[in-house]
Amino acid sequence: MKKLFFILFAAFMTITVHGQQFQKGTTAINAGIGLGTALGGLGKARPAIAIAVDHGMWAVGGSGVVSLGGYVGNTGYKYNDLGYTAKWNYTIVGLRGAYHYNGLSEVPSLDVYGGAMLGYNIAKYSSDSGDDSFANTYGSGLGFSGFIGGRWFFTESIGAYAELGYGVSILNAGVTFKF
């Protein structure tokens, strides 16, 4: 069993080690689902979804690339109790910049990065109770956040990613496309 595991692992590593790390001119798109959120609401949460785009703009000292891009994410809550329904909807739209570290040349399928985002949180509240007193307490606003993440490419252009930081969720994971 150990021998079979080792052979499969070696074959997987041989098949999945592709191409080059994130470079100037590279564009990557992440599409994922989030877990955990700092955004509030009662009741059942809708899964957080997010899309982020990064484009390599500047090579930095041979060890990395600075990217600029954008972010859009959405999540929400629905509360049914005591004869009324209340809904919270959060959409974050942002501009982001990241540093992609290319010092791990022995692992070319791995893209590790960290960065910051300036975003705008569009918060909406609605209720069919007739009481609109809470409608203005969930205000939209500008925010600044940080994130760290990694991408693993299975082919030259398709991979998986995980990102930790503030957006519509604390942890996002999903598929990534590079071109």
Residue 149 has pLDDT above 80, yes or no: yes
E-state strands within 61-170: 64-81, 84-101, 110-127, 141-153, 158-165
- Report the number of distinct structural domains present in the chain: 1
Provide the domain limits for residue 88: 2-178
Q: pLDDT for 51-100, tens place per residue? A: 999 999 999 987 899 999 999 999 998 888 778 888 889 999 999 999 99
Q: What is the pLDDT of residue 14?
A: 41
More confident residue, 106 or 39: 106
Q: pLDDT for 106-136, tens place per residue? A: 888 999 999 999 999 998 888 887 766 666 6
From the list 97, 129, 103, the residue with the least C-alpha distance to 115 is 97
In the DSSP assignment, the letter for residue 153 is E
How far apart are the C-alpha atoms of 161 and 98, rounded to whole Å?
Answer: 15
| Domain CATH number, residue 157 | 2.40.160.20
Total-model pTM: 0.82
Please state the three-class secondary structure of 17-55 as a single string.
CCCCCCCCCCEEEEEEEEECCCCCCCCEEEEEEEEEEEE
Counting residues of the chain whose pLDDT is more than 90, the rounded percentage is 54
How far apart are the C-alpha atoms of 109 and 14, rounded to whole Å?
Answer: 11
Helix locations, the chain, DSSP H: 2-16
